[in-house]
Amino acid sequence: MVVKLIEMELPVGEKLVVAKNRICNREDNGHLGRISIVSGIHGDELEGQYICYEVARRIGENPMALQGIVDIYPAVNPVGVAMSHRNMPRLEMDMNRIFPGNPKGDMYERAAASVVEDLIGSDICIDIHASNIFVKEIPQVRLDEESADRLLPFAKLMNVDMIWVNASETVHEATLAHSMNVLGVPSMVVEMGQGSSISRAYGNQVVDGIFNLMYEMGLWTKTPPQAQMPVISSEGKVEIICSETDGLFLPCIGNSHFVKKGDTIGEIVDPWSGKRKQSVLAGKDGLVFTLRIYPVVYPGDLIARVVTDIA
């Protein structure tokens, strides 16, 4: 059942509509629990669109296995999704920096507030993101330190490759996940893939994790695939590798690759002279969980993240 959370007129004669799809198989499901899946805060992060589709599709194949409520929010920033634009079009503001919103504020502040208000009462909220067009991320859950103790048991059920505790880029005070945790709704961020693209393999992996979580919560009766155990890391156990020069970055390994200290992650080359300008080396043993895909680099650009001292 599609439910509109807010509808507002746009200057061009169109409407901004934020909606959700509520899935349940009987009216008294509420007391059995509720999971909310949020996507599309950033319009160019499309991995969550596939996850929303696949969750709804699988439930549709086995509707009586659902013993609670699943709320799916595919496009919290619908104009951004329609334009494949990361930020709020024209305003060039990051929607994930205005939560919990303001019901009396501007258009997007009201949209954010409507989402937050509707999420209240969820037993858990999963906020799905992808990376940008420059780097690719393995499936991971990102948690802030304040909520980690409460959320880590849930995160371990998500069938991801890694859990990154205290991932500062993702747990800013004005993000959806941080706002919902403050308001008492356990919320975690799932990050995976690359901007403006969809990896069905990554998506199916995370969807398996969502159904595993639902099964453990008593919301789903059909036995899901067994979830893998993730690598767990904190902020101090992540090595961030950046370019030292400009040129073309040519990776020598794939993502989700274990490296030893001194291993070559890739090379930065000069297409004009035919010379290698930098060998990008791992500084420590660990797992490469972020790897640059877009080849043009300048000094200081992110090349890779490596989780070290793996737990």
Looking at residue 30, its pLDDT comes to 52
**Cα–Cα distances in angstroms (integers) from residue 30 to residues 23, 25, 222, 304, in the given order:** 11, 11, 19, 43
Give pLDDT, residue 56. Answer: 98
* C-alpha–C-alpha distance, residues 94 and 98, integer Å: 8
- pLDDT at site 12: 75
Cα gap 196→189, rounded to integer Å: 18
**Among residues 105, 79, 85, 71, which one has the least CA distance to residue 174?**
105
Q: Is 16 exposed, middle or buried (0-12, 13-18, 19+ CB in 10 A)?
A: middle
Residue position matching structure tokens 């949020």: 38
Output the pLDDT for position 168.
Answer: 60
Separation between Cα atoms, residue 231 and residue 214, nearest integer Å = 21
pLDDT at 169: 54
Q: Two tokens at 224?
A: 């899901």
pLDDT score, position 269: 98
Q: What residues of the chain score a pLDDT lower than 70?
A: 27-31, 90, 167-171, 235-236, 311
